[in-house]
Structure 1
Amino acid sequence: MIFSGRRRKYPRRKCQEMPQPINGDGDGWSWCVYKKPSALSTICKIHQEPRGKTHRSGEDKTHDIALNCGVCICASDMNLSTSLFLLGLCSMFSCLAVSGSKAKELTRPFIVDAFKEAKQIVDDSYLYSRKTSLERVRSSDFVKPSDTLRLMKQPKRKSREAVRAADYLEQTLRIIAERTHHAHKRSINATALLTLEELELIAKLTGCAAQTLPPPCRTTQNLNRYRTASSVCNNERNPLQGASNTAFTRWLPPVYEDRISEPQGWNPGRLYNNVVLPLVRLVSNRIFSTQDRNVVGDNEFTLLITFFGQWNDHDLSFTPMSPSIRSFSNGINCDDSCERSEPCFPIQIPRDDPRLPSGPNNCLPVFRSAPACGSGYSAYMFGGVPRVREQINTLTSFLDAGQLYGSEDGLSRDLRDLSNDAGLMRVNDRFKDNGRELLPFTRVVSKMCTTRNRIQNTTGLEEVPCFIAGDERVDENIALTSLHTLFLREHNRLARALRRLNPQWGNEQIYQEARKIVGAYHQIIVFRDYLPHIVGQEAMRRQLGRYPGYNANINPTISNVFATAAYRFAHATIQPVIFRLDENFQENQRAPSVPLQLAFFTPWRILFEGGIDPQIRGLISRPAKLNRQDGILVDAVRERLFAFTSQIAQDLGSLNLQRSRDHGLPSYNAWRRFCGLSTPRNVNELARVLNNTDLARRLIQLYGTPDNIDLWAAGIAEPFVTGGRVGPLFSCIIATQFQRIRQGDRLWWENMGVFTLAQRSALNRVSLSRIICDNTGISRVPRNPFILSRNLASFVNCGNIPGTDLSPWQESKDRGRKMASDENEISREKQSDEDPEELLENQVSRE
């Protein structure tokens, strides 16, 4: 509860301990609410006094109360008269020390002025950052990997609105705190000075309040039949649960250095269990390094395991970076400085690095993930309790093929062909792949994908823009782009078949029914064909067996630990090459296999070098890289990530660890404890867990104790579970997440009423092999494309792969007319929701 001269109430709730500090100087005060007064009334708890003084429960020490009366900080477990005396004293000092100034300063005009200043700072920074980045990738002959990574991770549309609102809020509170600091000559937490009404005003001004408003589920059409693009109203009691542009959930409390927002490693010299955390690049060098010549192929699974995993991951999570490339507080450009200043969180280079120069002015630019509204220092008091910094997931938490269709209304409409009644997805109007459809081009022109002449060291070759799809990362590599194209074609194939079955259907119904079928295909393939090879037999039996039905009390929201660490396991299965094969599954002489670092952001390879078939053949017939403890990441992602030129490349291993620290993920041991696994205390116990004494020693030399080890650093190195390709810890986390996704999805394909019994029976026949047969020129496929075939003779003709019978979707003409009114509505709603940065992008495109 916030106290001021105008607000003194006694909420009748039990005390709640807040594990993070309230004031900005790191003092560990607890957050206090009140029980109903009684003979032993608990006013509040204090676990650490500022300046090192300690007030324990029951101690009557009041001399510093005035410094902390902006929040309730008094004493606890004392008799009623003492409690009321201290409360009165706290309120009195509040009026004198705080509220007197508030009467002069924290008026509505003062707050509005602070918001206007914050808005100007944020808007100017966004526009500067976007313009600078676009100019670099549009006009420069060399695209820096940091620019590529940043542009790829930028929030768009509604996601940018959510991130912008969070930045407005944080900067408004920072300005209020700075102005009141000048008045009081001491550090004051802005949220400690503001009443709930004032915080609510700021939340409305900044747009954060709008981010938490429940959508109008009752007026949403066909809510029980089709998913909304953003998945709002999937849970009708908690409409935002699992929706796009909401915060990741947490299964364990985060670990921030100030217990609110600062990442681990933010403050140089900070000790963890009496040890300084190692530089993430040093861990990458000593634990993850693999030279390409030492790569060992997996003798059980194909490379499809790797890239289908990436395709699936891009359906579930996308964490945008901060849109600003310079600090809001001091204007430092993150590309030009190695200083840690929000949002700059650079990767420091250790001494004797094999590739990069070390020193205080040498680093890899990295930007913090954008915060969610009302978290971290910008904590808007939802429910009266401050919140630690959380990160936004711009995608839905459901297996809904959002990477194909988009996770918000505006993008979903843009990806559709609304020129006719066929229910189709928009396709490329300039190029075909042997008569088959290709993804459309983005309208934003940049040099991020115009890499053809640079990579081939020539001039005069035709360049093309990037493709566009439901997920921004579609162009990240040509194997991923090929899978996007495959499912785009499958949607349009289904839409045409449904239209032949039901000529009375209009555009909207055809589109939604085809989308619904593709979503069901995706769910079936992931659970039946993919996950067993990842999490292993025991996890499948224990958590992912027979469908138990929908449970509205289960939260399907993607967890931070799943998105930031566990589901990045497939990085260790990436081969250093994208295999491209001819009709006989041999090396393609016209378009040979390409090194991975030369397959990033190269859509022209699909247009001018044989389409998607060569990549698909490589995915289903060549092995994935085997994740070994002596060879975790190949050089293509550890030393040459997004390196189109001689510019300094990024390091995926370092990025994984830096991102985990940025998000406040607890340590390896904390997560083993969460999963009910043993928690090694020394090198010998760690060696038994990893079955590798040398690796355990190297980890302890870096971290000092198993309690300090970054989750991904040791989790990725655990021996595989039986039948899987991750260790026990990642198996637990991944299986738990998918268990919650399935049971918390009201529109899961097996849930009663989503499909008819006949439709469910037909859907069960789907196979990824059949989808490949229907949408490529490939005529022979393995029955299970995830399993590595010992010889090509085991491949079967497409004519022997059963398909899905669509006859259960045939309807009478009268039933099909019920969605006709939706057609014109969709067309009317197709309008621009561009903000200033998007207008800038379109201007650049026209130029």
Structure 2
Amino acid sequence: MSIITEARQLVDATYLQARKSLKRKLEEKIVNPMDFLKHLKDPIGRTRSAVRAADYLETTLKLLIKEMLLYRVSLADLLSRRQKEMISKGTGCDYQTRSIKCPERDFYRTITGECNNRNHSHLGSSNRAFARWLPAVYEDGVSVPRGASEGKRYNGFPLPLVRKVSNEIAHTANENVTADRQLSLVFMQWGQWVNHDIDLAPASGEGASLELQCHTSCAFKPPCFPIKFPPDDPRELSSDTCMPFVQSASVCSPSTFRREQLNAATSFIDASTVYGSDDALARSLRNLSSQLGLMAVNQLFRDAGLELLPFENTTHSVCVLTNRSANIPCFKAGDKRVTENLGLSAMHTLFVREHNRLARELRKLNPHWDGEKLYQESRKIVIAINQIITYRDYLPLLLAEETSKWIPLYSGYNEKVDPRASNVFSLAFRFGHTSVQPFVSRLNESFQPLCSSSHVPLHLTFCAPWRIVMEGGIDPLIRGMVVDHAKLMKQNQLLIEELQNHLFEQTEVMGLDLGAMNMQRGRDHGLPGYNAWRGFCGLSQPQTVEELSEVLGNPKLAKKFMNVYGTPYNIDLWIGAVAEPVVPQGRVGPLLSCIIGTQFRNLRDGDRFWWENLGVFTSQQLQALRKISVSRVICDNTHIRKIPRDAIHHFHHTLFPASSFQANGKSLKIQPVLDLGIVSSKDIIS
């Protein structure tokens, strides 16, 4: 008990120091790229309590090991059942892992995702561990990420630095980007939107401050797992400089003590991006001042008469620092990452408006409904819209002919299916980073550049909500996303310079490297390597450079991989998966098709409230729902008057009167308007 008390005091002191340190930095207006990232991944509400309990548990175990001078591996065996229960109670883990009794009848999903599965109430709910499809691989078998000890060999070779892999295999110059002829930037943005609905691995609570390690030392001292620079790095740096990296928060696992990461979002596609995954947050996002079932909106600013997202109620907001004179704080939404980029903020705004539009329409039809009923019914429709667009419009473009293999026709809810987001999916779905363009375009009503600064480098739009409030709202951004092509994922063009060297480089020059972070995150999460996942998916596991060049269809790239890793078994999942040639007509390779397809099938079949499941909607409602589209949602909630009927497909410039304008620095000739496939505001789909 004294050790548990000591552990709690240590963790509480660290948390307090973390908050003070961030507050001081914000007051002094000195922040670095890591602070922006921390803000987006900082645990809040119930997540914070869950993370803190797991930190109490981990610290207790470390202190016990010190006392007993034993290895942690054997600790689980040495403690009696009663001692384990004591630790679980004393750290608050028993409260985090308790099971709850579900109500006899329910019409709506819970905000937390609990009780979706009535027999296992926690499946798919927020603040629980990710599912593991293959056992975790840690250096010590328990929690130390692979690559934490220098020179340690795996399959006969040391693991390369992730930054070295990023430099040699992932890096693409901003000027050297191939556009995806078929797909607009809406495709990339929808991927991020749906991903944020499914998973969020918050940063470790302790990691909120330990700058002394994460910024100034290159040593692995949990929760700091810094990214080292190779000696030949193009950035000229001193040898002791590292890119800071904070481990993902772990979850209470009092029976095994093996490190598992926490998913702060509900796994289900339930628009938790809009409504939150935590009851207290969900309430704070609503307008409870009237019985109208509305979501709260910004009280200070409007977007040409239309609603904007509310601001966070913090006196010192990190977003203010991206433009001090504008003094605009971060937006507040169901997901903390809302202000990460402008396209994402636009999606959030669109769906909060759609909720409120539906609530007002439903009230006209059912004046007797109270605010709770209006809120829940509107929420139910918004969730269905997100499910339909994802499965009908988005996934078939991503997986092409692999779609039906992994996601067969729907045959109803199956309570035996585990709907939890898997740890590997949380990494694999980051393939979308390879379809991001280096510039953000904003266009006016005539689809001409909005102003001299309509073409902004991506890194100047991170955490910059002032650009929405002060520079024309969300319409110009949406027009830009419809007109711009997604970036094509090519083997020699994986990650643009903006993301590989300038991530969150708003106020300080040391930008982060998203590719390196993805690989470091895979190691942090104990994910097995590329070949293990190929095996999991029933694909061949290349052993030699010849076999790897056959899998990649590219001998030169295979050689690069072998030079860096020594063996295909050591290749990090993210880089191996995005380097595969895509399946015919699709946008990802065979390994990603398997992981993504399997995950989306589980999310659908294990969801009792899935929109097509019997009894969720009436047949009349189903008919109406089938008519929705991204374009419909845009037309109903913006001042945009003309848009392609299918906004995800690129429309090859058939939308506007003949004219030319600059895009990506090139003058484009635009063909005269064609009526085919265009939704105008007069062509209302009710």
2: CA distance between counterparts of 1:352 and 1:612?
42
1:301 partner SS: strand
Q: Which amino acid aligns with 2:463?
A: F
Report matched runs for 1:718-757 at 5 Å.
718-757=580-619
Give a deviation string over 1:175-217, Cα, whole Å, max 9, x none: 2332334xxx999954444210121021012110111111221
**Alignment equivalent of 2:19, drawn from 130, 133, 138:** 130
Shift of 1:803: 2.6
- Give the residue type in structure 1 aligned to 2:302: K
Per-residue CA deviations over 1:540-566 (Å, capped at 9, x if unaligned) read: 2223242111000000100011002x1
Q: Distance in 2 between matches of 1:422 and 1:447?
A: 30
Choose from 163, 167, 171 the match for 1:281: 163
Partner of 1:259: 141
In the alignment, does 2:120 pair up with 1:231? no
In the TM superposition, what is the alpha-carbon distance from 1:441 to its structure 2 partner? 0.4
Separation in 1 of the partners of 2:59 and 2:524?
A: 19
Aligned equivalents of 2:383 and 2:631: distance in 1? Answer: 17
Letter in 1 for 2:85: E
1:391-406 → structure 2 map (5 Å cutoff): 391-406=261-276
After superposition, what is the alpha-carbon deviation per residue over 1:507-559, rounded to whole angstroms, capped at 9, x for unaligned? 0000000000000000000000111111122x222232421110000001000
TM-score by length of structure 2 reads 0.94
Q: 1:81 — aligned with what?
A: none
Q: CA deviation at 1:326?
A: 8.1
| SS of equivalent to 1:399 | coil
Query: Once superposed, which parts of structure 1, at least 4 consecutive aligned residues long, lie more than 6 Å away?
Result: 185-188
Per-residue CA deviation, residues 291-315 of structure 1 (Å, 9 max, x unaligned), is 1111111101000111111111110
The offset of 1:778, in angstroms, is 0.5
Q: Shift in Å at residue 700 of structure 1?
A: 0.3
Structure 2 CA distance for aligned equivalents of residues 447 and 158 of structure 1: 21
Q: Structure 1 residues 188 and 178 mapped into 2: Cα distance closer, same or farther (>3 Å)?
A: farther
* Equivalent position of 1:843 in the other structure: none
Matched-pair contact (CA < 8 Å) for 1:137–1:147: no
Contact kept in structure 2, 1:326 and 1:344, CA below 8 Å:
no
Instruction: Give the match's secondary structure for 2:180.
Output: strand
Q: Tell me how far 1:506 sits from its aligned partner.
A: 0.3
Residues 186, 630 of structure 1: alpha-carbon distance in 2 compared, 3 angstrom cutoff: closer
Q: Which amino acid aligns with 2:499?
A: V
Query: Where does 1:319-330 land on structure 2 (aligned, <5 Å)?
Result: 319-325=201-207
Q: For 1:579 and 1:245, locate their aligned partners in 2 and report how far apart those are by CA, in whole Å.
A: 37
TM-score by length of 1: 0.77
- SS of residue paired to 1:294: coil
SS of match in other structure, 1:605: helix
Distance 1:258-1:188 versus aligned 2 partners, 3 A rule: closer
Match of residue 146, structure 1, among 34, 39, 44: 34
Counterpart of 1:529 (choices 387, 393, 396) is 393
Task: Specify which of 394, 410, 414 is matched with residue 551 of structure 1.
Answer: 414
The residue number in structure 2 matching 1:201 is 86
Distance between the aligned counterparts of 1:326 and 1:605, measured in 2? 27
8 Å CA contact 2:320, 2:329 repeated in 1: yes
Q: CA deviation at 1:226?
A: 0.4
Q: What residue identity is the alignment partner of 2:414? A: N
What is the CA deviation profile of residues 789-821 of structure 1, one whole-angstrom value per residue up to 9, with x for unaligned ones? 1122346242465534xxxxxxxxxxxxxxxxx
Distance in structure 1 (CA, Å) of the matches to 2:315 and 2:191: 29
Q: % of aligned pairs identical? A: 47
Q: Whole-Å Cα distance in 2 between the matches of residues 190 and 131 of structure 1?
A: 35
Is residue 251–residue 261 contact of structure 2 (8 Å, CA) maintained in 1? yes
Q: Which of 330, 338, 362 is the aligned partner of 2:218?
A: 338
Report the alpha carbon displacement of residue 462 of structure 1 after superposing the two structures with TM. Answer: 2.9
What is the Cα deviation at residue 572 of structure 1?
Answer: 0.2
2:381 aligns to what?
517
Given that 2:173 and 2:496 are in contact with CA atoms closer than 8 Å, whether structure 1 keeps it comes out as yes
User: Match for residue 125 of structure 2?
Assistant: 243
CA 1:527 to 1:337, structure 2 compared with 1: closer, same or farther past 3 Å? same
- C-alpha contact 1:138 1:447 (8 A) present in aligned 2: no
Q: How does 1:640-679 map to 2 (within 5 A)?
A: 640-679=502-541
**Cα distance in structure 1, aligned partners of 2:446 and 2:403:** 36
Amino acid at match of 1:560: N
Deviations 1:329-361 (A, max 9, x none): xx96322221111111000110121115152x2
CA distance in 1, matches of 2:347, 2:36: 22
Give the conservation status (yes or no) of the 8 Å contact 1:326–1:332: no
Shift of 1:588: 1.6
Asked if residue 437 in structure 1 is aligned to residue 307 in structure 2, the reply is yes
What is the DSSP-based 3-state SS (H/G/I as helix, E as strand, rest coil) of the residue aligned with 1:175?
helix
Q: 1:529 to 1:802 in 2, by over 3 A?
A: farther
Could you say if the C-alpha distance between residues 190 and 705 of structure 1 is closer, same or farther in structure 2, counting changes exceeding 3 Å? closer
SS at match of 1:578: strand
1:140-194 superposed Cα distances (whole Å, 9 cap, x missing partner): 2x4201121122211111001111101111212222332334xxx9999544442
The alignment status of 1:632 with 2:494, answered yes or no, reads yes
Q: 1, 5, 8: which is aligned to 1:119? A: 8
Hey, what's the Cα distance between the residues in 1 that align with 2:597 and 2:81?
Answer: 40
State whether residues 451 and 601 of structure 1, in contact with CA within 8 Å, keep that contact through their aligned partners in structure 2: no
> 2 CA distance for matches of 1:148 and 1:479?
17
Alpha-carbon distance in structure 1 between the residues aligned to 2:226 and 2:521: 11
Q: Distance in 1 between matches of 2:329 and 2:422?
A: 34
Equivalent pairs, count: 666
Greater CA drift, 554-563 or 198-207: 198-207
- Letter of the 2:192 partner, please give it: Q
Q: What is the identity, as a one-letter code, of the residue corresponding to 1:253? A: P
1:417 aligns with 2:271: no
Write the letter of the residue equivalent to 2:171: S
2:240 pairs with 1:352: no
Distance 2:322 2:157 in 1: 48
User: Counterpart amino acid of 2:252?
Assistant: C
Structure 1 unmatched ranges of 5 or more? 1-110, 375-379, 455-460, 805-847
2:117 partner letter:
N
Q: Which residue of 2 aligns with 1:306?
A: 188
Distance in 2 of aligned mates of 1:801 and 1:249: 45
Structure-1 separation of matches of 2:206 and 2:22: 10
Residue 372 (structure 1) aligns with: 251
Instruction: Give the letter aligned to residue 485 of structure 1.
Output: T
Provide the C-alpha distance between the structure 1 equivalents of 2:314 and 2:443, rounded to a whole number of angstroms. 32
> Structure 1 residue 237: deviation in Å?
0.2
- Amino acid paired to 2:416: N
Conserved? CA contact 2:213–2:219, under 8 Å: no
CA–CA distance in structure 2, aligned partners of residues 471 and 327 of structure 1: 22
Match in the other structure for 1:165: 53
Q: Is the deviation greater in 434-443 or in 622-631? A: 622-631
Give the aligned CA root-mean-square deviation in angstroms.
1.7
Question: Which of the residues 169, 174, 182 maps onto 2:62?
Answer: 174
- Out of 474, 488, 498, the residue aligned to residue 612 of structure 1 is 474
Q: Secondary structure at the match of 2:206?
A: coil
SS at match of 2:183: strand
Flag the structure with more relative contact order, 1 or 2, with Cα contacts below 8 A and sequence separation at least 6.
Answer: 2
Residue 452 of structure 1 and its aligned partner are, at CA, apart by 4.9
1:765 and 2:624 correspond: no
Is the 1:591–1:609 Cα contact (8 Å) retained in structure 2?
Answer: no
Q: Indicate how the Cα distance of structure 1 residues 188 and 310 shifts in structure 2: closer, same or farther if over 3 A, else same.
A: closer
CA contact (8 A) 1:765 1:802 kept: no
What is the CA deviation profile of residues 259-315 of structure 1, one whole-angstrom value per residue up to 9, with x for unaligned ones?
Answer: 111101011111011111100000000001111111111101000111111111110
- Please state if 1:215 is matched with 2:215: no
The answer to whether 1:602 aligns with 2:602 is no
- AA in 1 matched with 2:219: E
